[in-house]
Amino acid sequence: MVRFDKEADFEKKLIQALQSNGWEKEVLHHPTEQELIQNWANILFENNRDIDRLNDCPLVPEEMEELLEQIRSLRTPLALNGFINGKTVSILRKNPKDQLHYGREVSLKIYDRLEIAGGKSRYQIAEQPLFPRHNEILQDRRGDLMLLINGMPVFHIELKKSGVPVSQASNQIQKYAHEGVFTGLFSLVQIFVAMNPEETLYFTNPGPDGKFNSDFFFHWADFNNDPINDWQRIASTLLSIPMAHQLIGFYTVADDADGILKVMRSYQYYAANKISDRVAKNDWEAGNQLGGYIWHTTGSGKTMTSFKSAQLIAASKDADKVIFLMDRIELGTQSLKEYRAFADNADEVQETEDTIALIGKLKSTDPKDTLIVSSIQKMSNIKDDAAGKLRSKDLEEMKSRRLVFIIDECHRSTFGEMLITIKRTFPNALFFGFTGTPVFQENEQALSTTADIFGNELHRYSIADGIRDRNVLGFDPSMVIVYPDKKLRQAVALQEAKASTVEEAVSDPEKSRAYFHFMDSKEIPMAGQVGPDGKYQKGIEDYCPKAQFQTEDYQNAVAGDIIENWLTMSRNKKFHAIFATSSIPEAIQYYRIFRKKMPGLKVTGLFDPNIDNEGGEKALQKEDGLREMLEDYNQLYNQHFDIGGYAKFKKDAAARLAHKKPYERVKPEQQLDLLIVVNQMLTGFDSRWVNTLYLDKVLVYQNLIQAFSRTNRLFNINEKPFGSIRYYRLPHTMKQNIENAVKLFSGDKPRGLFADHLPENIRHMNVTFEEMKYLFVNAGQEDMLQLPEDKTVCARFAKLFREYSTCYQAAQIQGFVWTKTDYVVPVSEDNSEEDEPEKTELLHVLPTRTEHDILQQRYKELAKEPGLGSGYEVPFEIDPYLTDQNTGTIDYDYMNSRFDKWRKQLDQQDISREELDATLEELHKSFAFLSQEDQKHANRFLHDVQTGDIHLEKGKTIQDYISEYAVSEKKEQVHRLSVYLGCVEELVYSMLDAHVTRENINEYGRFDALKNSVVKEKAREYFTAIDGKPLPMFRVHNRVDAFLTDFILQGGMDVPEPPEEYRAV
């Protein structure tokens, strides 16, 4: 790959590549906003000069101002997406030359999503557009590239040269947005692109009120989901025409529910296109119902993909109706809302209240009724429900329409019979399925695979792809052994030998044969497995009766493990968990155990509330359990749910667990810590606040992956590095089931699916620590007191510390503590059989807690490096989460002990210079815990002690002196500010104490009051003396504004003293 040492060279080459991929040869160089507005006006004129629109009379400035006013009133990219894709806009004609329309409203064509690379579409490149400042103390800005479609700036691209992280380009975009650059005409920008030659990110404009979220900064990829990062391939794919035109027209989604503009990921684009192409080529008379299926992993945005697929089909008019089918539960909760939120207009997606309404929508010729949402249950009953209400010709009329059915969660077995009925009712319809866990021969249900029902796989985005792309998290499954293997094996051996004791088993020849057969792990493994002949060989766990897992001892042990690890696994109750049990009676028993053993845990259960009147004692116990849970829930959260309104209770509990309306900002005391379930909530439920799944049940294939996926929604990686799973029942069988499911659903890419375990994380910590230590030693900072001066070394340190911290955060969840320096770990990951001693080794933790805290402090200082002001390009990425972390309690005790030792030695007459210097060196080393600012004060203090400028007071600690020096320095800075600028000290202290930000610096007019207290003549004299040249009076205001802003936002800073001659005056 060609390396670009200059950004300008990269920019030039990218422009050439864009011009080779559909963008115009003539480049707009350094355009101002006004010039771009005129350019837009010219294009609008050319595209609308016919007699019915502009009547061959150009647009005048007043008319363009009316368009800009419409843009300003819409304001957000979400609303402006509708403006751009609305095809036309209306203005009042104000050009007197157009006598036909003067004073009347005319409609102008601005953009057509279907008019790609032809007709009246124009594709221009604006190089280095100029952005005027929106605040007098800020600077004018110049972007890198803007891409204009029909004169509208819809893409903004920021570039960085080789070697500079692409994050710096995205940071620059965020900086410009923060400064108000993307307003006026520039608020039309829909997509941001951050690029260096080796990597590209694209993401939507969040608008003036939104926040940038790096979780939604995407890499483009090819059809096989391999990321495309080379800049030339980006220019020929993502940014090419027609792709760029389609991205704005079809593949951005104005999500009204979330209030933000969204853009599709590459895999969503390929899937939607595949479905659209399949429909376009369909022979509607052939009776081939197999459209195909999309395999996209859980959490990858299947709802948006399915909606966009339908919208593409509707726009192309290749089908008369597109019907989304889903389970009635999903239909009753979120899916309909999501579809409507994605639509250009809520009326675009039609709900069917009952069968008659459904029939009406299917017969309708109104374009509004093209997209229909219904339950699969309702659609399967359409023929029977409509009996007597439907004429035979109505059914034939519906059958004759070109119908496309899109089925969500199409792996569900409950859909089988209903889908067969629908297919029989509409023999010429085309069916597509969406699933994260397809049914294959290995896990087939009722002898049908997903391919049998829907046809070929059209596109795949497996769970391994999702984890690699950071769209979902990996998993950390942990086997918890409740019954020791050896004891369980012996119990099964005695059971199968029909013996009560080992003595009885070995003394009888026949019994001993059976006993030793089951005791031999080579003959009977712990978990059953399929042999070479295809037959299933039972394992020890297959012989365990269910009753073994329903005992009080077993359930107390499982609950005890959950309780013991609760604070660690939940990150001090920040996250929530789901506990899946094998039956409703067991769920109720576990609920009572938790209420007794951990009363402070906020727990409830969810399961089928139906009471079978013929169920006898079991039905009564179930009813008691439901009543008990609802009473506790109502009392805990001040609710009034009953068994009759159980659906409302379920909705409330799900919303509480997901922090969704009305619990978006739920307080800790109103949270739900643990939800106990049997089958519910293990598929289709999304919450990024769930980080752990506890399993006391055995799952296989798609049910296993679906359940695991409740834990893998993205959160800050430092707090939630993976989804944790702890499984108890038949652990060896479950381990095997996990391996089988992963093999089946990872798309042959299992790597990265599981998080590293504790030993691997400690090893990674050790390796990265040694590398970081070497960097400091090599830079002459053996004690890590300061950051290395070489910025490339700092960049390497930043990268290593982020890797180290990721492993450290994960290790903490897995049981790592600083008080333990050595860990006994297995030599092999494979679990050896219980009758063979497990091979282990001792793993030593290299970094100490002290060294960890010192490195944390140095990392925090990377973000505060002096000289990283305006225009400076930071050559490394800083994780704000890590810089915000408290480094722990600084070891003041150790520092004070060194200080006391040195102070005492100062008074000793017989102390040698070498011993005194050695103690002083120890004291200096202890300063490594301190920030660079506090280190400066500490060193100044020691210097003053040595020179006799300060006398030590009994009882004072070194941190007391450091604080005094810091306060003294701040006072001196404020005093100088007052002396040289004339401002009022009380106003300065008031602002410093308020810890203001750039956003609220002038709240209540406080900053204006401070500026007004400045004596302009004194300020002018001061800046003239500092600069060594006269400062014109008209520039004094801006200079004072900038100087005071820096002083306040930095919490004080050095105020340079003017030359002696000035001070003498």
3-state secondary structure labels for all residues of 983-1037? CCHHHHHHHHHHCCCCCCCCHHHHHHHHHHCCCHHHHHHHHHHHHCCCCCHHHHH
In whole angstroms, give the CA distance from residue 789 to residue 781. 10
Would you place residue 866 in the very low, low, confident or very high pLDDT band (cuts 50, 70, 90)?
A: very low
Its pTM stands at 0.71
Task: Please check the confidence at residue 649 and state whether its pLDDT lies above 80.
Answer: yes
Task: Please check the confidence at residue 420 and state whether its pLDDT lies above 90.
Answer: no
The answer to which of 87-96, 409-418, 736-745, 1037-1046 has the lowest mean pLDDT is 409-418
Q: What pLDDT does residue 299 have?
A: 79
The answer to which of 487-491, 887-891, 1055-1059 has the lowest mean pLDDT is 887-891
Q: What pLDDT does residue 959 have?
A: 75
Q: What pLDDT does residue 582 have?
A: 95
264-450 and 548-729 in the same fold: yes
The answer to which of 241-245, 288-292, 392-396, 902-906 has the lowest mean pLDDT is 392-396
Task: Please check the confidence at residue 18 and state whether its pLDDT lies above 90.
Answer: yes
614: number of Cβ within 10 Å: 5
In whole angstroms, give the CA distance from residue 604 to residue 587. 10
Would you place residue 348 in the very low, low, confident or very high pLDDT band (cuts 50, 70, 90)?
A: low
Q: What pLDDT does residue 386 have?
A: 55
Task: Please check the confidence at residue 414 and state whether its pLDDT lies above 70.
Answer: no
Q: What does the pLDDT average to over 933-946?
A: 80
Q: How many helices (H) and strands (E) does the chain have?
A: 41, 29
Q: Which CATH architecture has domain 264-450?
A: 3-Layer(aba) Sandwich (3.40)
Most confident by average pLDDT, 214-223, 294-303, 679-688, 939-948: 214-223
Comparing CA positions, the residue from 304, 316, 244, 239 lying closest to residue 268 is 304
Is the previous residue joined to 242 through a cis bond, with omega within 30 degrees of 0? yes
Higher pLDDT, 936 or 855: 855
Q: What does the pLDDT average to over 8-15?
A: 95
The answer to which of 320-324, 394-398, 779-783 has the lowest mean pLDDT is 394-398
Domain ranges in the chain are 7-250, 264-450, 479-547, 548-729, 758-884, 956-1064
**What are the tens digits of pLDDT across the range 762-790?**
999 999 999 899 889 888 888 888 888 88
Higher pLDDT, 949 or 549: 549
Would you place residue 860 in the very low, low, confident or very high pLDDT band (cuts 50, 70, 90)?
A: confident
Would you place residue 872 in the very low, low, confident or very high pLDDT band (cuts 50, 70, 90)?
A: very low
Q: Does domain 548-729 have CATH number 3.90.1720.10?
A: no
How open is the CA angle 24-27-33, to the nearest 5 degrees? 115
SS3 221: strand
Would you place residue 446 in the very low, low, confident or very high pLDDT band (cuts 50, 70, 90)?
A: low
Task: Please check the confidence at residue 882 and state whether its pLDDT lies above 90.
Answer: no
The answer to which of 154-158, 947-951, 981-985, 1027-1031 has the lowest mean pLDDT is 947-951
Q: What pLDDT does residue 10 have?
A: 96
Q: What pLDDT does residue 343 have?
A: 55
DSSP state letter for 445: B
In whole angstroms, give the CA distance from residue 427 to residue 408. 20
Q: What pLDDT does residue 389 have?
A: 58
Higher pLDDT, 269 or 87: 269
Q: What does the pLDDT average to over 29-35?
A: 95
Pairing of strands 475-479, 199-204: unpaired
User: How many percent of the chain have pLDDT more than 90?
Assistant: 44
Would you place residue 245 in the very low, low, confident or very high pLDDT band (cuts 50, 70, 90)?
A: very high
The answer to which of 102-116, 517-531, 828-842 has the lowest mean pLDDT is 828-842
Mean pLDDT across the chain: 85
In whole angstroms, give the CA distance from residue 30 to residue 144. 9
Q: What pLDDT does residue 135 have?
A: 65
Q: What does the pLDDT average to over 712-741?
A: 91
